[in-house]
Chains A and B, each alone.
Chain A
Amino acid sequence: MSKVNLTVNGKAVAVDVEDRTLLVQLLRDHLNLTGTHVGCDTSQCGACVVHMDGRAVKSCTMLAGQADGASITTIEGIAKGDELHPMQAAFRDNHGLQCGYCTPGMIMSAIDIVQRHGGQLDEATVRHELEGNICRCTGYHNIVKAVLDAAGRMKVAQAAE
């Protein structure tokens, strides 16, 4: 057992876990943050993507201990109170989900994509960048539309700040 200290969605937490615990297990089983999903468990589907120190990583492919000292943001930590994050709002408005299982990971990856590319996003780039996130319902079409829509909204939101 080891104590892992980290910041999750802005709150400092200290959790005693077995050394073999994955970051996603710490989030879901120890902190009850079940918005982060486990899809494939083989690092391919991206349902478990969270942000660690601002970078989108697969939380099923990290030991909790590797995140010691890091700042983690999960899907539960991106809305401002009742106001959805622009990426969440864009997924809703563009019908970018059906069953919703992949959506938390999609949204966390998509925010990272927009942050890395700023305003320089086109459809081909979004499709290429989303290759680590698998959706079995939508055929991706509306997901891509949502990400492009959100890229515009996030630029506007940033300009307003």
Chain B
Amino acid sequence: MYQTTYHRASSVDEAVSLFGKSSEAKFLAGGQTLLPVMKQRLAAPSDVIDLGKIKELQGVELSGDVLTIKAATTYYDIMTNADVKKAIPAIAYLTSVLGDPAVRYRGTIGGSIANNDPAADFPAALLALGATVKTNKRSISADDFFKGLFTTALEDGEIITAVSFPVPAKAGYEKMRHPASRFALTGVFVAQTKSGEVRVAATGASQSGVMRVPAIEAALKANWSPSAIDNVTISASGLLADIHGTAEYRANLVKVMAQRAVAAAR
């Protein structure tokens, strides 16, 4: 790891001010991606501003039909939270199969979506549930937030403070885990909103990151059941292809994972 200067911020305002004073700072939440990347010398921030101990970024609130998860809440605290389990059990499940136990104690929802890894789990949940990303400056809908591989709508120095999820009628998530890395080869989050809208998002599939799957949304809108997807064809064009699987394989995984997610949805 190259030299860097570590700062622990005690408030969002302090973090913003520290960012303004540094030449090339990075915000650090759980550090489960940023630190490995710095160790490989793929990133060399002049300053690292730790958001992990900021009180206003911690916790979960359920208010009516909106579940709000503050940005620096760890995966472990999300998966064990009673409000999360009650309001959107699919999020508790997604979090329980993310990384491994030690990673879940450190990694945060804000860190995951700010990084927007093409195989990360949380972007699919935000997109399928029609969540809103709150920052220190504004609110951004999930549809506008994810801009492609490792790219988001966040501006320099902008800090995610929370994510608000409308509580759905039903939601489910399933992924095919890479047997060695345990990352999602492809994962699909399905949701039926309380107004009857169906939204489906796939991670690990597209070359441009997390994506909606309109063909499956239409099929499930007509008939919410795994068999409704039997005759849907997913095009392999624009999907990821690598040593682990071809684009055609991932296209099929989108379909199969969607079927399993519908079967698991509640």
Interfacial residues, chain A to chain B (CB-CB below 8 A): 2, 18-20, 22, 41-44, 46, 49, 55-58, 61-63, 65-66, 68, 109, 112-113, 129, 131-133
With A61-B36, A66-B31 as known contacts, state yes or no: A19 contacts B6, CB within 8 Å. Answer: yes
27 example contacts (A-B, Cβ-Cβ < 8 A) are as follows: A19-B3, A19-B5, A20-B1, A20-B6, A20-B38, A22-B35, A22-B39, A41-B39, A42-B36, A56-B105, A58-B103, A61-B31, A61-B32, A61-B35, A62-B35, A63-B6, A65-B6, A65-B8, A66-B31, A66-B52, A109-B101, A112-B101, A129-B101, A132-B100, A132-B101, A132-B103, A133-B100
Min CB–CB distance A23 → chain B (angstroms): 10
A65 and B1 alpha carbons, distance in the complex (Å): 15
Contact B102 A63 (CB under 8 A): no
* Size class of the B contact interface (CB-based, 8 Å): 20 to 34
Q: Nearest 6 A-B pairs (CB), nearest first?
A: A132-B100, A19-B6, A65-B6, A55-B105, A20-B1, A58-B102
Please tell me which one of the listed residues A20, A22, A57, A113 contacts residue B106 in the complex, with CB atoms under 8 A apart: A57
A22 and B1 alpha carbons, distance in the complex (Å): 9
Listed residue (A2, A55, A112, A129) with the most chain B CB atoms within 10 angstroms of its CB: A55
B39 contacts which chain A residues (CB < 8 A)? 22, 41-42
Min CB–CB distance A48 → chain B (angstroms): 9
Min CB–CB distance B214 → chain A (angstroms): 34
B50 contacts which chain A residues (CB < 8 A)? 63, 65-66
Could you tell me the dominant secondary structure of chain B's interface residues?
Answer: mixed
With A20-B1, A62-B35, A62-B106 as known contacts, state yes or no: A68 contacts B8, CB within 8 Å. Answer: yes
Contact B36 A131 (CB under 8 A): no
Identify the closest chain A residue to B107 (Cβ).
A61
Q: Which residues of B (32-71) have their CB < 8 Å from a CB of A? A: 32, 35-36, 38-39, 48, 50, 52
